[in-house]
Structure formats: C-alpha cells, structure tokens
Amino acid sequence: MTFASLPDFKSLLGAAPQPDMDARSAAAARNGQLTKPQGSLGRLEDIATWFAGWAGTERPRIERPQVIIFAGNHGVTAQGVSAFPPEVTVQMVANFEHGGAAINQLSKNAGASMSVHAIDLDRPTADFTQAPAMSEAECVAALRVGWNAVEAGADVVVVGEMGIGNTTSAAAIAGALFGGTPADWVGRGTGVDDAGLAIKTRVVAEGVARHGELDPLGILCALGGRELAAMAGAIARARTLRIPVILDGFICTAAAATLAKAVDGALDHCVAGHVSAEAAHGRLLGALGKEPILSLGLRLGEGSGAALALPIVKAALACHSDMATFAQAGVSTG
C-alpha cells in the first residue's frame, strides 16, 4: 500500500480505520472496576481507555515503542531566521547516530527503539518567500520516507525532527492553516535575538501571503520541509495501522495539523506529549483540541517531549491492564 500523489495520500488517510469501539467500551468498563476511587488516576484513565480503542484490546501494553527522527534542511535559513547555522542539522544527525543527543538518552530511558532518517540534507528546500519550499513530487517523496519508516509491529510511535530553520516553517504552516497574525505563531526557536525575530515575522508574513490559499497538503509542500512532510507521512501511516502516536513539539504538531485540516479525525490516534516553551505550540494544540501530557519548558524538538511522555503512557497502561478489580482483591466498593 503506497501513494504516488497528494490526492492518493489523502485518500489512504481518509480510508483509515476507526478505533475498535468494543475494545474501548470494555476498557472503560474495566477502568470502573479497578481498585481505586472512580477517576482517581485522572488523565491516566483517559489515556488508557483511548489507547485500548486504537490497540483493539481491553488490556493494552507497550512492548515495542518506536521513536523515529527525521531531519531536513531549509532554504529559508539564508534569511537569518535561526540562532544556529544550517550545518548544525547534519552535525546533529551524526550526533544522533553516535548516541550523543538528548533523544538517544530519552529513547533508552523509555525502552524505545530509535531510528534517524536524514532526508536530502545536501538539497535544502527552496526559500518559501521566493518559491514553494517543495514541489509536489518532493513533498510526496518525503511523505513516503515517513510512511515507510513506521514498523507495522510497533505498539506506539513517537515522531520527532531536526532541522535548523524549521520553527519558521512551522509558524508559516500554522498561520496559513489557522489565520491570526504572524506574531501569533513566531517565537525565538533556538534563541534568535530581537533582530532575528523581526526577520522571522516578516518571512512568515511573506510565506503566508504567497502560499496561504493552498489546501492543507499544498501548504505542507509550499511552507514545510522534508522532515515535516516525513513526520506527516509517519503519523498518517500509524493512523492506517491504528498505532497510537505521541506528538512532540511545535514543528511536529504543525506537520500533524496539515493532516487534521486535510481529513477530519486524522489525528484521533494522537496524544500531545508535551507543550513546548515556544508559545505558539500551546496556541496550536488549543486549535487542535489537544491537551498536553507534560509542560516542562522544553524547546529542543528531536522527539524529546514525546519520548518523555512515553513512560507516562506506559504507566497508564500498566495500571489499567495489571491492577486488580474490587472483586479480585476483595476490596469493598464505595
């Protein structure tokens, strides 16, 4: 099963299965019988019931979590929108491959496999103030990298990214999809100064003015980057396989948002792992109706916030699937 065009991709996403409502109802009933006051595990209870529907079983477990990191380079960096030079993208990919980045430690901490996909780093996207960042063919190729990266046997997926300049891309996508002013969506990213922030705001305004009328997947092509398209492809593939996804920060969520705008319910299998310190991330999660699990002031990307939320999701399933019921434990009900 694959796709050769954006309409094909959208059709596959639109045809993705719904969660197993019987498994979800059975999980909700089980949750009501576990040895705790009703609702006392708070959000963990919702997470477990939600997960059960996607996993298709009343008592789901996480045994094969998969972290997938995508990297891409952005032509728009020539405008001076990042605090770091674009060569950091390839340098950080080497760091991921040698096990030296934060995401290596966080994946290990969560018991997850981790893979890195560097996509055409020697061929940055076009500067989106001048032309579409990617042609449809380039965008489809990147979507396919993400689609093919998801292991069918994974029981939960984390997608993350590395790409100097990509908060500018994410801000432009968010502005094009949800409106508002460029300032609503622009932040300091890796730490630009006031002059850099002013450039970034202008660049986002120009990008939205030039490409903002496109449809959601057209916006992904014209304002996104290869790592954003790959994240969208992986999230879509997980949706077709009914594998739950933990979303990461602002860039990951902006990529995901293009799917939500293209197809209703496309992100129903996604939970927001955290809210980033990039202020626009909270705004974007609000627009998508997603409540973050963690709020730790992270602004790293590379899947870090989602990988940190993974042990929380695991804990929710451990309680849900392995606790005794009132009847089993001989505990009196209230």
Ligand X SMILES: Cc1cc2nc[nH]c2cc1C
Ligand Y SMILES: O=C(O)c1ccc[n+]([C@@H]2O[C@H](COP(=O)([O-])O)[C@@H](O)[C@H]2O)c1
Distance of alpha carbon 318 from alpha carbon 315, whole angstroms? 5
Report the residue from 188, 302, 306, 313 that binds ligand X according to the rule CB under 6 A: 302
Show contacts with ligand X in window 158-177 (CB under 6 A).
162
24-32, 146-154, 245-253, 299-307 -> range binding ligand X (CB under 6 A): 299-307
Angle 31-35-37 from CA coordinates, rounded to 5°: 80
Among candidate residues 32, 88, 103, 89, the one with its CA nearest the CA of residue 246: 103
**CA 260 to chain CA mean position, Å:** 12
Residue 313 · residue 155 · CB < 8 Å: no
Nearer to ligand X, 3 or 250 (CB): 250
Report the residue from 173, 251, 293, 313 that binds ligand Y according to the rule CB under 6 A: 251
Nearer to ligand Y, 141 or 199 (CB): 199
Q: Would you call 161 a catalytic residue per the annotation?
A: no
179-184, long-range: CB within 8 Å, 24+ apart, which pairs?
A: 180/283, 182/208, 184/280, 184/283
Distance of alpha carbon 163 from alpha carbon 235, whole angstroms? 18
Q: What is the helix (H) or strand (E) element at residue 66, kind and residue range?
A: strand 65-71
Report the residue from 24, 239, 290, 299 that binds ligand Y according to the rule CB under 6 A: 299
Report the residue from 75, 86, 301, 305 that binds ligand X according to the rule CB under 6 A: 301
Find the shortest distance in angstroms from Cβ 293 to ligand Y: 15
138 binds ligand X (CB under 6 A): no
189 binds ligand Y (CB under 6 A): yes
Residues assigned a catalytic role: 302
Footprint of ligand X on this chain (CB under 6 A)? 84, 88, 92, 162, 190, 300-302
Footprint of ligand Y on this chain (CB under 6 A)? 82-84, 161-168, 189-190, 248-251, 276, 278, 281, 299-302
